[in-house]
């Protein structure tokens, strides 16, 4: 078991080395009581809990702040913010956008999105239409492969409007076509597999522009999914910073200690805020707990001020 300890720059609002050491001692001796989670999902995308339930779970976990970052939608934000206020938890409106890349997977997180925002909502409607068409094609490919799923089978695992590949994986598992969700992705739904269908996604530049236009702060999510070498990742992140990237997800449920060190060093070198989150989905991956990941995730609340300080000046 290891603990994650951020050092996110030299600005007054961020952790200094002296405060980092004090935090280390406190976490080791009595546990850190003011933690945050900047990466959770609700039934409005591919999570199993409603936004209100997420706020309740965050309060039970003793979190000071939590960000709702549903995939390509902000529809759950109003319910989420209201519930967080009632529970005494700082709720941060967020989003996780899927980005078009030639290999691997790239997601961009946005925080403190201003709502309503007409341009963002127009883009999200376009993404939703593209996702619906992709889902129709996935259904057709699965049927041709002998997997006789109905739309009701898939929709049963989706809480609200957004239906994604995870819901197909859950339906395939429930129907006995695969033994696990991982197998569903390995055989059918993963990139390049027999039932995979690409869909329209934003470019990196588009995602960064719209997040900032909506008053938000953009952060690169789980960098390892890009499948880039350390030097290639550094070059890409340095370029994206020129388009408005402000943060990078360093502390994450599936990051190894070596990856955390690599991404932390990159955040310091490029003056990006080092953020953290569990990527909590609820029943889809019950081993991951909100605020704690697999048990060792520790993200202190000082990061909130560091991240908020990067909001566009006009926001």
- For residue 191, the model assigns a pLDDT of 87
Q: What is the pTM of this model?
A: 0.85
Q: What's the CATH number for 17-118+205-308?
A: 3.20.20.140
Q: What are the extents of the domains in the chain?
A: 17-118+205-308, 125-189
| C-alpha distances in Å from residue 19, one per residue of 13, 304, 312 | 11, 15, 27
Rounded distance between C-alpha atoms, residue 140 and residue 121, angstroms:
29
pLDDT by position in tens, the chain (length 315): 334 444 333 333 455 444 544 554 454 444 555 799 999 999 999 999 999 999 999 999 999 999 999 999 999 999 999 999 999 999 999 999 999 998 899 999 999 999 999 999 999 999 999 999 999 999 999 999 999 999 999 999 887 768 889 999 999 999 999 999 999 999 999 989 999 999 999 999 999 999 999 999 999 999 999 999 999 999 999 999 999 999 999 999 999 999 999 999 999 999 999 999 999 999 989 999 999 999 999 998 999 999 999 999 764
> Across the chain, which distance is largest between two alpha carbons, in Å?
61
CB–CB of 312/211 below 8 Å? no
Topology at the third CATH level for domain 125-189: DNA polymerase; domain 1 (1.10.150)
CA distances from 283 to 21, 43, 78 (A): 36, 11, 23
Angle (deg, nearest 10), helices 230-242 and 257-270: 40
Start-to-end Cα distance in the chain = 40
- DSSP 8-class letter at 247: E
What was the pLDDT predicted at 97? 97
């Amino acid at each position: 078991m290891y603990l994650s300890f951020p050092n996110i720059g030299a600005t007054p609002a961020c952790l200094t080395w002296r405060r980092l050491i004090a935090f280390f001692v406190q976490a080791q001796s009595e546990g850190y009581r003011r933690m945050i989670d900047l990466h959770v999902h609700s039934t409005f995308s591919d999570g199993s809990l409603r936004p209100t339930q997420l706020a309740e779970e965050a309060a039970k976990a003793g979190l000071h702040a939590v960000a709702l970052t549903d995939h390509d939608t902000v529809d759950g934000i109003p319910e989420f913010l209201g519930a967080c206020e009632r529970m005494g938890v700082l709720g941060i409106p967020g989003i996780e956008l899927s980005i078009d890349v030639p290999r691997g997977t790239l997601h961009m997180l946005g925080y403190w999105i201003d709502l309503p925002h007409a341009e963002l909502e127009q883009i999200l409607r376009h993404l939703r239409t593209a996702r619906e068409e992709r889902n129709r094609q996935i259904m057709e490919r699965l049927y041709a492969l002998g997997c006789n799923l109905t739309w009701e089978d898939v929709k049963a695992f989706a809480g609200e409007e957004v239906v994604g590949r995870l819901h197909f994986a859950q339906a395939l598992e429930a129907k006995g076509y695969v033994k696990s969700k991982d197998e569903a992705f390995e055989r059918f739904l993963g990139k390049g597999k027999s039932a995979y269908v690409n869909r329209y996604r934003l470019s990196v530049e588009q995602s960064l522009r719209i997040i900032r236009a909506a008053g938000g702060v953009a952060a690169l999510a789980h960098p390892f999914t890009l499948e880039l070498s350390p030097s290639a990742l550094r070059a890409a992140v340095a370029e994206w910073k020129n388009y408005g990237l402000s943060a990078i997800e360093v502390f994450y449920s599936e990051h190894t200690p070596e990856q955390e060190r690599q991404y932390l060093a990159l955040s310091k070198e490029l003056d990006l805020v080092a953020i953290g989150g569990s990527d909590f989905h609820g029943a889809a991956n019950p081993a991951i707990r909100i605020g704690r990941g697999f048990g060792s995730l520790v993200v202190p609340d000082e990061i909130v001020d560091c991240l908020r300080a990067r909001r566009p000046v006009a926001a």
